[in-house]
């Protein structure tokens, strides 16, 4: 009987893993089912550009089916519970999927409501609707305090809020309102970027662009156009852009797989979920000590695929192809048609190059070839 493989989540992690498995296993060896709550795959990095009026949100979403290899069965439904002991996934509409191997790729959830006032009083670009609302607010912005606040770690794509401050600086200059605007970056951390080796670069850029940074500000609530910290400090704003707290998907907690924030504990090299045989986690959903990033999922997916393929074929996994070293390669836009790249792994921190036009062009090219990469399960 073919092995039953179930993948939950049709983001970059789930799609790539399912496509890679389908490429390497034929129908006599395995059935591959991908469950996704919406049936639409979204290229989330594009939301930054939507907010800044450089992209249309409609270009960023595609029908999941169109990105999946034919051999993968797609189920559009919300998985509500994972029963590891009985090797079964319950779906909201009442169906159940039995599995021999399970890959959880449910991403990160946004928890606006953990901070009173955040949802209504501030904007974000961490959802399609949020990015479109922010675009409209920026079009009508006539100056004052533009405050960008970040939550405590972890949140997906740590460079995104810094990129936003630098790109919005450029946007406001073009609109002629920058001289009437203070851009203030507010963070609970003690440096402007979570990774120490990158913080110096951001400090320099902020100095050059006149962007203020307020560190050690742990946002507790939002009242009357003011951010209020847990120690009572206040930061008034005319327009606030807040990255909402990020948490693991509710199913992880409901199934007893997630920690208190919902992240799923896993072996950082094999991505095997701790205490759950033949269950793996790919992408933002895990508690791995690395950046929550599309490229992380991109490099993890082949490792998990190799382990499952080897198990189905009854052989030992290839030790190189099955071990994740923590590799992340993340472009970092700084405005002015320039970018750098953050490349690192578990053992080597990033050493960003001076921002240049090459990396900006490379980012642009990557964003346009993304759909091909996902569809073919290529690397």
Ligand X SMILES: Cc1cc2nc3c(=O)[nH]c(=O)nc-3n(C[C@H](O)[C@H](O)[C@H](O)COP(=O)(O)OP(=O)(O)OC[C@H]3O[C@@H](n4cnc5c(N)ncnc54)[C@H](O)[C@@H]3O)c2cc1C
Beta bridge mates, 97: 89
Query: Does position 193 bind ligand X by CB under 6 A?
Result: no
Q: Least distance (Å) from ligand X to the CB of residue 335?
A: 15
Q: Are 292 and 246 within 8 A, CB to CB?
A: yes
Our finding on whether 295 is near ligand X (CB under 6 A) is yes
Contacting residue, 3, 6, 13, 22, with ligand X by CB under 6 A: 13
Complex with ligand X: residue 171 or 229, whichever CB lies closer: 171
Nearest to residue 160, comparing CAs of 130, 121, 118?
Answer: 130
Question: What is the full DSSP assignment across 193-236?
Answer: SSSHHHHHHHHHHHHHHTEEEE-S--EEEEETTEEEETTS-EEE
82 binds ligand X per the rule CB under 6 A: no
Question: How far apart are alpha carbons 120 and 331 in whole angstroms?
Answer: 31
> Which helix H or strand E contains 15, and what residues bound it?
helix 12-24
Query: Smaller CB distance to ligand X: residue 137 or 177?
Result: 137
Residues that contact ligand X, how many (by CB under 6 A): 37
Structural contact between residues 271 and 290, judged by C-beta atoms closer than 8 angstroms = no
Under the criterion CB under 6 A, does residue 155 sit at the interface with ligand X? no
Q: In angstroms, rounded to a whole number, what is the distance separating the alpha carbons of residues 26 and 313? A: 11
Q: Which of 2, 23, 37, 203 binds ligand X (CB under 6 A)?
A: 37
**Which window, 209-217, 285-293, 315-323, 354-362, contacts ligand X (CB under 6 A)?**
285-293
Which residue in 266, 295, 265, 281 sits closest to 373, CA to CA?
A: 295
Distance CA 62, CA 250 (A): 24
**Residue selected from 294, 326, 352, 355 as contacting ligand X according to rule CB under 6 A:** 294
Told to check if 156 binds ligand X by CB under 6 A, we report yes
Instruction: Please report whether residue 288 would count as binding ligand X according to CB under 6 A.
Output: no
Shortest CB 249 distance to ligand X, Å: 4
The residues with which 338 forms a beta bridge, in sequence order, are 335
Q: Is 284 in the site for ligand X (CB under 6 A)?
A: yes
Distance in angstroms (rounded) separating the CA atoms of residues 8 and 106:
6
**Buried residues in 159-169 as b, exposed as e (16+ CB within 10 A):** bbbbbbbbbbb
Regarding 257 and contact with ligand X (CB under 6 A), the answer is: no
Single out the segment in contact with ligand X by CB under 6 A; choices: 6-14, 54-62, 165-173, 198-206. 6-14
| From 10-18, 22-30, 134-142, 219-227, span contacting ligand X (CB under 6 A) | 10-18
State in angstroms the smallest separation of the CB of 105 from ligand X.
Answer: 5
126 is a site residue for ligand X (CB under 6 A): yes
Residues whose CB falls within 8 Å of the CB of residue 363, separated by 6 or more in sequence, listed in order? 331, 333, 339
Q: Of 62 and 191, which has the nearer Cβ to ligand X? A: 62
- For residues 150 and 77, give the distance between their C-alpha atoms in angstroms, rounded to a whole number: 32
Q: In the complex, what is the shortest distance from the CB of residue 108 to ligand X, in angstroms, rounded to a whole number?
A: 6
Residues at the site binding ligand X, with contacts judged by CB under 6 A: 8-14, 35-38, 44-45, 47-48, 78-79, 105-107, 125-126, 156-157, 160, 249, 251, 283-285, 292-295, 297, 330-331
């Amino acid at each position: 009987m073919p092995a039953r493989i179930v993948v939950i989540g049709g983001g970059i992690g789930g799609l790539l893993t399912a496509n890679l498995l389908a490429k390497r296993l034929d129908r006599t060896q395995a059935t591959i089912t991908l469950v996704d709550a919406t049936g639409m795959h979204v290229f989330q990095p594009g939301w930054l550009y939507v907010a800044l009026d450089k992209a249309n949100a409609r270009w960023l979403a595609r029908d999941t089916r169109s990105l999946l290899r034919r051999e993968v069965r797609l189920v559009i439904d919300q998985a509500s519970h994972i029963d590891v002991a009985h090797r079964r996934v319950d779906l909201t509409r009442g169906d159940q999927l039995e599995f021999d191997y399970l890959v959880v790729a449910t991403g990160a959830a946004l928890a606006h409501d953990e901070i009173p006032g955040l949802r209504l009083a501030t904007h974000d670009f961490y959802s399609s609707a949020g990015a479109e609302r922010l675009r409209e607010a920026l079009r009508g912005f006539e100056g004052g305090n533009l405050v960008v606040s970040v939550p405590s770690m972890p949140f997906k794509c740590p460079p995104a809020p810094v990129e936003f401050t630098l790109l919005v600086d450029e946007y406001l200059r073009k609109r002629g309102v920058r001289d009437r605007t203070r851009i203030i970056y507010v963070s609970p951390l003690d440096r402007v970027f979570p990774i120490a080796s990158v913080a110096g670069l951001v400090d320099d850029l902020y100095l050059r662009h006149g962007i203020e940074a307020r560190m050690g500000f742990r946002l507790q609530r939002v009242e009357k156009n003011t951010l209020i910290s847990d120690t009572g400090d206040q930061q008034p704003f005319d327009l606030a852009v807040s990255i909402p707290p990020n948490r693991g998907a509710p199913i992880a907690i409901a199934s007893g797989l997630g920690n208190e924030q919902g992240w799923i504990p896993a072996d950082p090299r094999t991505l095997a979920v701790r205490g759950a045989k033949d269950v793996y986690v790919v992408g933002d959903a895990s508690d791995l000590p690395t950046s929550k990033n599309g490229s992380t999922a991109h490099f993890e997916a082949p490792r998990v695929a190799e382990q499952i393929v080897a198990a189905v074929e009854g052989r030992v996994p290839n030790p190189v192809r099955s071990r994740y070293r923590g590799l992340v390669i993340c472009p970092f836009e700084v405005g002015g048609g320039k970018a750098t790249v953050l490349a690192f792994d578990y053992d080597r921190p990033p050493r960003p190059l001076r921002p240049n036009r090459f990396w900006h062009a490379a980012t642009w090219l990557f964003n346009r070839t993304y759909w091909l990469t996902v569809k073919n399960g290529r690397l």
